[in-house]
Structure 1
Amino acid sequence: MKLTTPQPARHPKPTTKASALAYLIFDRPDLAKAEHFLNDFGLQTVSRGEALVLLRGTGASHFCYVVRKAPKSRFVGFGLQVDNRADLDALSKLPGASGVERSLLPGGGDVVRLTDPSGFRVDAIWGQAPAGTLAHRAPLAFNSIDTAVRINGTQRPPEHAPEIIRLGHVVLELADYQRTCAWYTQHFGFIPSDVQVLPDGSPAVAFMRLDLGDNPSDHHTLALAQGFAAAYSHSAYEVVDADAVGMGQRILRDKGWTHAWGIGRHILGSQIFDYWQDPWGDKHEHYCDGDLFTAGVPAGVHTVSREAMAQWGPTMPRSFTKPRFTLASIVALLRNLRSSPDLTLSKLRTLAKLFA
């Protein structure tokens, strides 16, 4: 199987190389309702005001989730950490970029605000003050057939929301696929780990990791999927072990939240996963045991299908990728069919046959 398009592909001399996914930004009309779901999901509130709620995991980050008060619910964008002040200077010279500004969020630091070709906001952040970690339970000791590590003991994971350790990745849907992939590989040094393609060889999903050189990086920090309009697909949050994933399902089900898909293990990335919807239908994933790659590993190319998304567990339900048709999304579909070189009626029919 071969790609028939230039992107996704790593760039030989990127403007910068992002080193971490720092935070996500959402607009919500009801901050209390948003916070309620996120606390049940396992994120901890850092600060709460009339216009802004910040939440974090137990890892060394001041916050990883920003909720802004707004009339309409939407995903705004995300922050990427860079390691040098010179990176901000280089990014500030890109078309449409802000100047280098001081961040007013916890931890401070300097930030450049950009907009990717699909309209998502991307903050490049440098120089945040160090953040402390919070306590979380240790992974449960696991008796395997070859190694018994727990003798005269039992397994009793705590019955509460799973402790989120950190924000792991975000997945976006795009109409203008090639240009957006190129923007992230060129300006933030993202490396394609695996690409899923349609029968004609055109990419449907690109799983992209950070270029950390010889240091291992998550199989994907950013995943981009061909769609008919720019949209948030889901975000993922690492927990300590599979029991935390399972306890998360129990707690969220008991609290009355809407389940989306899981529990299972992905093929690409290998994570044990479980997906839940927030009050606005946006999907959030608990995961553990993801793959880690160094920079030298080449990209894999695979045929896309619903069945190719999991090694075990339920097949991805059609509701997971069913688009939300509103007047605005229909207008965007018609506009993108005229303007995007990546979107055709034939491709839409193929995607609908596979996923809708």
Structure 2
Amino acid sequence: MNDSAAPRLSTLQPARHPTPSVKAQRLTHLIFERPDLDEAAHFLSDFGLSVSHRDTDTLYLRAADPSPYCYRIHRAAQARFLGYGLEVGRLGDLDHLTQLQGASAIERIEHPGGGKQVRLLDPSGFIVEAICGQSSSVPLPHRAALSLNLADKQPRINRAQRPPITPPEILRLGHVVIEVADYQATCAWYTQHFGLIPSDIQVLPDGSPIVTFMRLDRGEIPTDHHTLAIAQGFTATYSHSAYEVVDADALGMGQRVLRERGWKHSWGIGRHILGSQIFDYWQDPWADKHEHYCDGDLFTATQPTGIHPVSREAMAQWGQRMPKSFTQPKLTLGNLRMLMRNLRRSPDLTLRKLMALARLFG
């Protein structure tokens, strides 16, 4: 957090930590629970992932990159998002992480790719599997980006554009977005313990931060504008995850295929303002959002943090305006109970803040 003690806690802006415990190198995988592995595989295969391993109670899917899997699903009675994996650079990093409160000992990984891991819970209760030494798989083939004829450069002569009508080949898992009640503590945990850098922060009219887009710190090696984004919510929940495709035609073809196969569309196509990705969002059978994207921003560690007002208009440069349904919470009895509990408990959650969010996104 910022060192100044003058502002109230709710208006402090998340900031990079000067001496983080370790520096995460990569977002490796997501972890879900689902009651129906076949239905999960159906959607994700249409979305563009490939089933890589499967047993009775666990399903693994991968992208084209060398990671053995990027999406792990455990069979369970209820659909739930559990957390994700972050790769660290060396075994000594795992030793540092075992010293954190609630951390496991260093364990041998039983999932595809093997390696070692330390399991942690972040302040909002999401599982973080810090992994090291995972073996790579053979990359999957994918088509090259289409050659574009531009006004001042026309490389494609006597050749037509005919991309295949198939699910888009997903290159890799790009980022995950979570909502939390304990916003400040959760942001601080990732900056302090995994070295994540706030790329951009969106704030309410009173200056209090509401969304932080965080990137990896890999020095002069460019990294995605955000690998993890954290948004203020009334409880800890999954917002969406994002997967890179080769170009805008792959993204558009993904929309065609998913629409023709009967899946539910959430938002897109458009281009984000923060991160600049061309995006398209779809819902899986449990209404969890999954994003195809291409052409995102890349930053080195020297890029300073930006501060921006939050609004529906601040979400896209062009394309469909963000629909109200995109941010509407699921108003179940359990969620209402959680809202009341967190209003009493969390220093970051107030009725005033909830009312401001409702005015901006309602």
Q: Which residue of 2 aligns with 1:300?
A: 306
- Conserved 8 A contact 1:116-1:183: yes
Number of the residue aligned with 2:254: 248
Structure-2 residue corresponding to 1:130? 136
Query: More displaced, 129-138 or 225-234?
Result: 129-138
Q: Which residue of 1 aligns with 2:204?
A: 198
| Post-superposition offset of 1:132 | 2.0
Q: Distance in 2 between matches of 1:354 and 1:227?
A: 14
Cα contact 1:60–1:130 (8 A) shared by 2: yes
**CA offset at residue 7 of structure 1?**
3.9
Cα offset, 1:6, TM superposition: 3.2
Q: How does 1:1-356 map to 2 (within 5 A)?
A: 5-356=11-362
Q: List, as ranges, runs of 4+ consecutive aligned residues in structure 1 with deviation greater than 4 Å.
A: none
Separation in structure 2 between the aligned mates of residue 27 and residue 273 of structure 1, nearest angstrom:
26
Q: CA deviation at 1:4?
A: 6.7
Deviation per CA, 1:2-37, whole angstroms, max 9, x where unpaired?
A: 997334110000000000000000000000000100
CA RMSD of superposed structures (Å): 1.1
Q: Which amino acid aligns with 1:61?
A: S
Q: TM-score, normalised by structure 1?
A: 0.98
- The offset of 1:352, in angstroms, is 1.1
Q: Distance in 1 between matches of 2:110 and 2:179?
A: 29
Tell whether the 8 Å contact from 1:7 to 1:181 is kept in structure 2 after alignment.
Answer: no
Query: In 1, distance between residues paired with 2:298 and 2:184?
Result: 25
3-state SS of 1:192 partner: strand
Q: Distance in 1 between matches of 2:92 and 2:12?
A: 29
How many residue pairs match? The answer is 355
CA distance in 2, matches of 1:155, 1:16: 46
8 Å Cα contact 1:265/1:272 also seen in 2: yes
What is the TM-score when the length of structure 2 is the normalising length? 0.97
Q: Which amino acid aligns with 2:357?
A: L
AA matched with 2:53 = S
Q: Distance in 2 between matches of 1:311 and 1:156?
A: 28
Contact 1:264–1:274 (CA<8 Å) still a contact in 2?
yes
* Residues 217-243 of structure 1: per-residue CA shift (max 9 Å, x gap): 000000000011111000000000000
Counterpart-to-counterpart distance in 1, 2:312 and 2:103: 38
